Amino acid sequence: MALRLGDLAPDFTAETSQGVIHFHEWLGDSWAVFFSHPRDYTPVCTTELGAVARIKDEFDKRNTKVIAVSVDPVDSHAGWIKDINETQDTTVNFPLIADPTKEIANLYDMIHPNASDTATVRTVFVIGPDKKIKLTLTYPASTGRNFAEILRVIDSLQLTANYSVSTPANWENGQDVIIVPAIATEDIPAKFPKGHTIIKPYLRTTPQPNL
Catalytic status, residue 45: yes
134: nearest Cα among 157, 162, 108? 157
Q: What's the chain look like in SS3?
A: CCCCCCCECCCCEEEECCEEEEHHHHHCCCEEEEEECCCCCCHHHHHHHHHHHHCHHHHHHCCEEEEEEECCCHHHHHHHHHHHHHHHCCCCCCCEEECCCCHHHHHCCCCCCCCCCCCCCEEEEEECCCCEEEEEEEECCCCCCCHHHHHHHHHHHHHHHHCCEECCCCCCCCCCEEECCCCCHHHHHHHCCCCCEEEECCEEEECCCCC
Length of the chain: 211
68: nearest Cα among 150, 174, 176, 153? 150
Q: Which listed residue (14, 27, 45, 151) is catalytic? A: 45
Give catalytic residue positions: 45
